[in-house]
């Protein structure tokens, strides 16, 4: 989400939100430095320096305006969700940036990998420690199921890498596991802390998580680099089969016949991005995401007006990333 979108969400939700977002940053920074110099060095960039904090935002808005009784709990839930997300990023970094894929490792890459694996484990553990302080086993269940799903999604993605036979269903299932379940968990945890039924917001979270991933995969093909901050076609170079490629394979015999393993340079990846784009499938993938966002909004349960409006704006913000 863009900063403007976040500001709109804050305006809709209420003045409680900036205070919570600030405390979130403080707590994350504390965690980054609170577990030894080594973690500080390796984790602080990931957990303290960045990110859209979209998942914590969902926790906060799903919980509604905090009371004195639940404010600490809401904050811990948000921290826990962001830590699981950070852990995943750290481990993904290990895997995706591994210069192994291109042939040969540097010493720096080797040191980074080892540290990153342990750092990710530490962030996972801290997430559960943080949430355990809420004293609610149902919350641990929600988070552990989401983090299991993330790992299963990652396994599925690695298992399907370079495959020429990934179906749309399988791709969507992977998106659910890799992305949607943590968005869902963020909504459920917020709802639990806010005293709402978690079921009501679960579907909303799952759907906007799915839309988020669908659009992310479109952005990987479409760019522009200036907006995404990464080269076009990194998924293609990783062997990750996403919806644009699956759809393009259906439309273009040339693309269908292509062995992904032959795409080994950024130039080749960008060229394939152009080919995919030329088939017109990006619009189709985008429409699918917009449809899911619309369903997410339509399926929202009865909620106080401000809370509903804030959730709708978050949903729109997921789409705005693309526009």
Q: Pull the structure tokens for residue 85.
A: 């997300």
Burial 243-281 (b: 16+ CB within 10 A, else e): bbbbbbbeebeebeebebeebeeeeebbebbeebbebeb
- How many Cβ atoms sit within 10 Å of the Cβ of residue 301? 13
Cβ closest to a second copy, residue 117 vs residue 228? 117
Cβ closest to a second copy, residue 22 vs residue 158? 158
The three-class DSSP label of residue 305 is helix
Cβ closest to a second copy, residue 35 vs residue 308? 35
Taking CB under 8 A as the binding criterion, the range among 1-9, 142-150, 249-257, 278-286 that sits at the site for a second copy is 142-150
Pick the binder of a second copy from 94, 248, 263, 289 (CB under 8 A). 94
Q: How far is the CB of 255 from a second copy (least distance, A)?
A: 25
Pick the binder of a second copy from 8, 13, 17, 42 (CB under 8 A). 42
- How many Cβ atoms sit within 10 Å of the Cβ of residue 110? 13
DSSP letter for 252, please: -
Counting contacts by CB under 8 A, is residue 72 touching a second copy? no
Chain residues 105-124 in contact with a second copy, contact rule CB under 8 A: 105, 110-111, 113-115, 117-122, 124
Q: How far is the CB of 207 from a second copy (least distance, A)?
A: 23
Counting contacts by CB under 8 A, is residue 300 touching a second copy? no
Q: Compute the half-sphere exposure of residue 152: CA atoms within 13 Å on the CB side of its CA.
A: 16
DSSP letter for 243, please: H
Q: How far is the CB of 229 from a second copy (least distance, A)?
A: 24
Site track for a second copy across 155-194, x = CB under 8 A: xx-xx-----------------------------------
Pick the binder of a second copy from 85, 126, 288, 321 (CB under 8 A). 126
Q: How many Å apart are CA 292 and CA 278, to the nearest integer?
A: 24
Q: How far is the CB of 162 from a second copy (least distance, A)?
A: 11
Pick the binder of a second copy from 23, 152, 297, 309 (CB under 8 A). 152
Going by C-alpha positions, the residue among 209, 201, 238, 288 that lies closest to residue 98 is 238
CA-to-CA dists, residue 101 to 92, 105, 147, 245, angstroms: 14, 9, 26, 21
Pick the binder of a second copy from 141, 227, 230, 291 (CB under 8 A). 141
Cβ closest to a second copy, residue 138 vs residue 274? 138
Q: How far is the CB of 38 from a second copy (least distance, A)?
A: 4
Counting contacts by CB under 8 A, is residue 140 touching a second copy? yes
Any idea how long the chain is?
323
Contact 120, 167 (CB under 8 A): no
Contact 244, 217 (CB under 8 A): yes
Q: Tell the burial category of 1 from Cβ atoms under 10 Å away from its Cβ (0-12, 13-18, 19+).
A: buried
- Binding residues for a second copy, rule: CB under 8 A, are 35-36, 38-39, 42, 87-88, 91, 94-95, 98, 100-101, 104-105, 110-111, 113-115, 117-122, 124-126, 128-129, 131-138, 140-141, 143-145, 147-148, 150-152, 154-156, 158-159
């Amino acid at each position: 989400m863009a900063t403007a979108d976040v500001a709109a969400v804050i305006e809709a939700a209420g003045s409680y939100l900036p205070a919570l977002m600030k405390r979130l940053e403080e707590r994350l920074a504390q965690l980054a430095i609170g577990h030894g110099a080594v973690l500080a060095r390796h984790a602080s960039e990931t957990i303290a320096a960045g990110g859209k904090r979209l998942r914590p935002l969902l926790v906060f808005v799903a919980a509604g305006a905090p009371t004195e009784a639940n404010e600490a709990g809401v904050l811990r839930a948000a921290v826990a969700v962001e830590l699981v997300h950070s852990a995943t990023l750290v481990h993904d970094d290990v895997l995706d940036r591994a210069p192994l894929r291109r042939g040969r490792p540097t010493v720096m890459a080797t040191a980074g990998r080892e540290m990153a694996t342990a750092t990710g484990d530490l962030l996972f553990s801290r997430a559960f420690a943080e949430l355990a302080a809420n004293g609610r086993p149902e919350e641990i269940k929600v988070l552990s199921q989401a983090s299991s799903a993330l790992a299963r999604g990652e396994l599925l993605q690695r298992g399907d890498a370079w495959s020429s036979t990934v179906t749309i269903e399988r791709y969507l299932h992977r998106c659910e596991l890799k992305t949607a379940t943590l968005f869902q968990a963020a909504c459920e945890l917020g709802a639990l802390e806010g005293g709402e039924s978690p079921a009501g917001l679960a579907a909303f979270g799952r759907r906007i998580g799915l839309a988020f991933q669908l659009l992310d995969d479109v952005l990987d093909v479409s760019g522009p680099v200036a907006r995404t901050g990464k080269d076009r076609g990194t998924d293609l170079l990783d062997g990750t089969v996403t919806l644009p490629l699956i759809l393009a394979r259906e439309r273009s015999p040339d693309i269908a016949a292509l062995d992904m393993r032959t795409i080994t340079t950024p130039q080749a990846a960008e060229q394939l991005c152009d080919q995919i784009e030329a088939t017109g499938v990006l619009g189709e993938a985008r429409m699918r995401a917009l449809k899911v966002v619309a369903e997410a909004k339509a399926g929202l349960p009865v909620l106080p007006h401000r809370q509903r409006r804030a959730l709708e704006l978050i949903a729109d913000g997921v789409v705005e990333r693309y526009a």
